[in-house]
């Protein structure tokens, strides 16, 4: 009791997680001299209401944002990576296998998830993939799609960030633009089997690796759609539908905890939901 952790997680799960090796992205960098350590307005960025607020690690100071979200894959079968973030400070948030979300740091606080992006307003969100950390390869990462409850959670988070953080629901072009993209937006030669799978446009370097495919080919296609434009069949398209429905007062954001997929899809009023049709193609 009193840990502040979600009630659906047993203490045994928490203990296991703290002892696990997590294969998530750790890309530390120093604070550039021109970035102040505190936000000059003094107003903290709002927290995503669909995530459990579990503040963790040390406060690395203002990140000069938030301006964009980088979506990542964590090689782990853990239900939470809070214990890993406590020592790595590597992300602001997490999406678990059943769509439950956790937020560890403010969206205007820096983390060590994207190297050059850490102090340019890039928010890092990690996500479960269930792969074995000891043996997983970049090819394995490219084969692992997000389960549908995770897609819906990500779409909800992206939709919320539009009115709440001022981040437009659009594909990232360049590492210094506004919107949502995969970690590989800032990785120059990501391993990929897709003809349009290299979405690097620079100029920032978001990893010490030049080949890491994070968040993986399948997840990239889920996020941007088959045409890599955020159009039909994409999580970004689904986020547009959620944003429109919430703005019109027809529904609210997802609650905390696991995603009830039928209820979550129904809340937007019955528009065709085409965003997942290509997920497993």
Interface residues toward Zn ion, by CB under 5 A: 25, 72, 183, 214
Q: How far is the CB of 181 from Zn ion (least distance, A)?
A: 11
Q: How far is the CB of 232 from Zn ion (least distance, A)?
A: 26
Cβ-based nearer residue to Zn ion, 130 or 269: 130
Q: Interior CA angle at 50 toward 121 and 275, to 5°?
A: 85
Q: How far is the CB of 71 from Zn ion (least distance, A)?
A: 8
Cβ-based nearer residue to Zn ion, 82 or 183: 183
Strand partners, 246: none
Q: Interior CA angle at 145 toward 141 and 146, to 5°?
A: 115
Q: How far is the CB of 214 from Zn ion (least distance, A)?
A: 3
Q: How far is the CB of 25 from Zn ion (least distance, A)?
A: 3
Cβ-based nearer residue to Zn ion, 67 or 183: 183
Cβ-based nearer residue to Zn ion, 73 or 268: 73
Cβ-based nearer residue to Zn ion, 25 or 78: 25
Of the candidates 274, 220, 253, the one whose C-alpha atom is nearest the C-alpha of residue 47 is: 253
């Amino acid at each position: 009791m009193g840990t502040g952790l979600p009630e659906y997680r047993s203490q045994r799960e928490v203990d296991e997680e703290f002892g696990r090796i997590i294969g998530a992205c750790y890309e530390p960098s120093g604070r550039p001299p021109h970035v102040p350590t505190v936000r000059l307005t003094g107003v903290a960025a709002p927290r995503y209401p669909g995530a459990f607020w579990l503040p963790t690690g040390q406060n690395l100071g203002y990140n000069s944002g938030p301006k964009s979200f980088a979506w990542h894959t964590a090689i782990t079968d853990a239900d939470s990576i809070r214990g890993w973030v406590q020592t790595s400070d590597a992300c602001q948030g997490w999406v678990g296998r059943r769509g439950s979300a956790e937020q560890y740091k403010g969206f205007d606080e820096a983390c060590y998830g994207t190297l050059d992006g850490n102090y340019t307003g890039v928010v890092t969100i990690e996500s479960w993939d269930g792969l074995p950390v000891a043996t997983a390869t970049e090819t394995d990462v490219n084969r692992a799609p997000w389960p549908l409850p995770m897609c819906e959670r990500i779409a909800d988070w992206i939709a919320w960030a539009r009115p709440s953080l001022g981040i437009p629901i659009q594909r990232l072009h360049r590492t210094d633009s506004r919107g949502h993209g995969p970690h590989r937006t800032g990785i120059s030669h990501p391993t990929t089997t897709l003809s349009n799978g290299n979405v690097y446009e620079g100029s920032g370097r978001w990893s010490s690796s030049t080949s890491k495919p994070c968040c993986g080919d399948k997840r990239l296609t889920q996020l941007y759609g088959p045409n890599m434009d955020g159009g039909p069949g994409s999580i970004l398209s689904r986020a547009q539908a959620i944003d429109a429905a919430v703005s019109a007062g027809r529904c609210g954001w997802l609650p905390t905890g696991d995603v009830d997929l039928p209820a979550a899809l129904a809340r937007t009023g019955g528009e065709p939901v085409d965003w997942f049709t290509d997920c497993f193609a």
